[in-house]
Chain A
């Protein structure tokens, strides 16, 4: 069974835990064979929301999922830039019914 562990932090506490500590945690879990993938995210202000309605792609700024929408899954993708990521996100089927939040990954800083 696979589990997704979601990390929540207040905006001003995003860097409260040193990156180096998180990297060590990731390394440890990887060595013990339990880690599939882990990434830090850029702050919420960097998000864009993609929806497809009647075949038309719409992009809005920010994480604008409806309050009744819940996190239903995730795709970790490799894209050239945000435009490329938006094009890919628009192909994810639930984009037609709900919304896909596109949030850039933040690379951890070992220093």
Chain B
């Protein structure tokens, strides 16, 4: 038997603590040390110290506090060593004092640290792609390599993006703070946008062929849950609901051979009922607050689809009504397009096509593949095959996703009268 065997339970404990608490410890260390890099280094040092000391001294009664304290000591040590020639002792003293403050350890202060971390990573003064990278790195704890793989980009490019974001936080003095009530709506929007960006990257890029990519949709849902837990705002609930309701259809969106299946052709028995039930409950909570916004309304639309037994049995009038509400707060041609598709289901393809063509005529969506695909689909249903073919080809020229490409090619063959 290997001599290290008696330590195995403790190593498992440390791994479990890392899983459950490393992000909390990091969030608190950033507050105490005032610096992301120093805090990350301190976090690693703290876990290294735990690996050395816990097997000998036993697991401390409050592992998280132990880790924060160990990390802070290591960081102050490192700062002192680095600043031998400078008078930087006051940095250490400030941190010394901070850790003795009992308020530091109360649950609320520590939970606030996690919110501080989220809001700082999603600060609108950072570039949107930097917000995403930093959030995945610091809040979700993904490695730079994992994020780079998920976004199909070279790791050094992504590392550089994170370095720049951290220097901006330092140089522009982006504070480590939960926004005040007046700032909250706009700042929360930024956080929700980041989470939804992560989700969509995972959701729309899932080709089934690429198994090495980190599950970004799952990561976004975890983030959404964390946000609802820390800050139960209606729109945070709405976004979590929206993600769960989309995610519930994952198994039905692709055939076993990786072919895209549209909503009306999906096998609804494959939809994840537990996710639908949770999503529907969250939508209800969000809507009943009376303070909901675009995510909650989109989630409400997704819930109508999720609860309908078939495409034909969907309450399309209700869907159109919700799109009308959505358009009042957010005038976006993509939402107009989605509404047009719902109108086509309610009033027939000709009514929908008239709206789609009006949007395209304005030029707003002339390079948006789904606008051409929608026009093609409606022409097809009306039997206008030549126009359908031309529009499918236009959509095909604009798409970059392999499953979409194959789907459109199949449709083109169909409307051309060729055997599929």
Residues of A within 8 A of B (CB): 42-43, 45-48, 56-62, 80-84, 86-87, 102, 104
Asked if A58 contacts B179 (CB within 8 A), the reply is no
Q: Of the candidates B125, B127, B130, B182, which one forms a contact with A82 in the assembled complex, judged by CB atoms under 8 Å apart?
A: B125
* Min CB gap A50→B, angstroms: 9
Asked if B124 contacts A83 (CB within 8 A), the reply is no
Q: Of the candidates A43, A59, A104, which one forms a contact with B124 in the assembled complex, judged by CB atoms under 8 Å apart?
A: A59
Binary contact readout B169-185 vs A (1 if CB under 8 angstroms, 0 otherwise) = 00111110101001100
Considering only CB atoms and an 8 Å cut-off, how many residues of chain B contact the other chain? Answer: 20
A81 to B124, CA, bound (A): 14
Q: Is the interface of B mostly helix, strand, loop or mixed?
A: loop
B173 surroundings in chain A (CB, below 8 A): 81-82, 104
Q: Of the candidates A56, A61, A80, A87, which one forms a contact with B125 in the assembled complex, judged by CB atoms under 8 Å apart?
A: A61
Of chain B, the residue at the smallest CB distance from A61 is B127
Known contacts: A48-B125, A56-B186, A87-B183. The answer to whether A104 contacts B177 by CB under 8 A is no
Asked if A83 contacts B174 (CB within 8 A), the reply is yes
Known contacts: A56-B186, A83-B177, A83-B179. The answer to whether A46 contacts B172 by CB under 8 A is yes
Of chain A, the residue at the smallest CB distance from B175 is A81
Residues of B within 8 A of A (CB): 123-128, 130, 164, 167-168, 171-175, 177, 179, 182-183, 186
Asked if B125 contacts A59 (CB within 8 A), the reply is yes
A81 surroundings in chain B (CB, below 8 A): 173-175, 177
Q: Of the candidates B130, B177, B186, which one forms a contact with A59 in the assembled complex, judged by CB atoms under 8 Å apart?
A: B186
Asked if A42 contacts B124 (CB within 8 A), the reply is no
Residue picked from A43, A46, A48, A104, most chain B C-beta under 10 Å: A46
Q: Of the candidates A45, A46, A58, A80, which one forms a contact with B186 in the assembled complex, judged by CB atoms under 8 Å apart?
A: A58
- 24 residue pairs from A and B, CB less than 8 Å apart: A45-B164, A45-B167, A46-B171, A48-B124, A48-B125, A56-B186, A57-B186, A58-B186, A59-B125, A61-B124, A61-B125, A61-B130, A80-B175, A81-B173, A82-B123, A82-B125, A82-B172, A83-B174, A83-B183, A84-B175, A86-B125, A87-B182, A102-B125, A104-B171
Of chain A, the residue at the smallest CB distance from B172 is A46
Asked if B175 contacts A104 (CB within 8 A), the reply is no
* Min CB gap A70→B, angstroms: 23
A56 surroundings in chain B (CB, below 8 A): 186
Of chain A, the residue at the smallest CB distance from B186 is A57
Asked if B175 contacts A46 (CB within 8 A), the reply is no
Of chain A, the residue at the smallest CB distance from B124 is A59
Asked if A62 contacts B127 (CB within 8 A), the reply is yes
Of chain A, the residue at the smallest CB distance from B168 is A46
A59 to B127, CA, bound (A): 11
B182 surroundings in chain A (CB, below 8 A): 87
B128 surroundings in chain A (CB, below 8 A): 61
A81 to B179, CA, bound (A): 12
A45 surroundings in chain B (CB, below 8 A): 164, 167-168
* Min CB gap A34→B, angstroms: 30
Of chain A, the residue at the smallest CB distance from B127 is A61
Q: Of the candidates A42, A80, A87, which one forms a contact with B172 in the assembled complex, judged by CB atoms under 8 Å apart?
A: A42
B125 surroundings in chain A (CB, below 8 A): 48, 59-61, 82, 86, 102
B186 surroundings in chain A (CB, below 8 A): 56-59
* Min CB gap B384→A, angstroms: 42
B177 surroundings in chain A (CB, below 8 A): 81, 83
Known contacts: A45-B164, A45-B168, A58-B186. The answer to whether A82 contacts B124 by CB under 8 A is no
A27 to B214, CA, bound (A): 56
A43 to B167, CA, bound (A): 11
* Min CB gap A109→B, angstroms: 13
A58 surroundings in chain B (CB, below 8 A): 124, 186
* Min CB gap B35→A, angstroms: 14
A9 to B124, CA, bound (A): 26
B171 surroundings in chain A (CB, below 8 A): 42-43, 46, 104
A42 to B171, CA, bound (A): 7
Of chain B, the residue at the smallest CB distance from A84 is B175
Known contacts: A58-B186, A87-B183. The answer to whether A82 contacts B126 by CB under 8 A is no
Of chain B, the residue at the smallest CB distance from A103 is B172
A47 surroundings in chain B (CB, below 8 A): 172
A47 to B171, CA, bound (A): 10
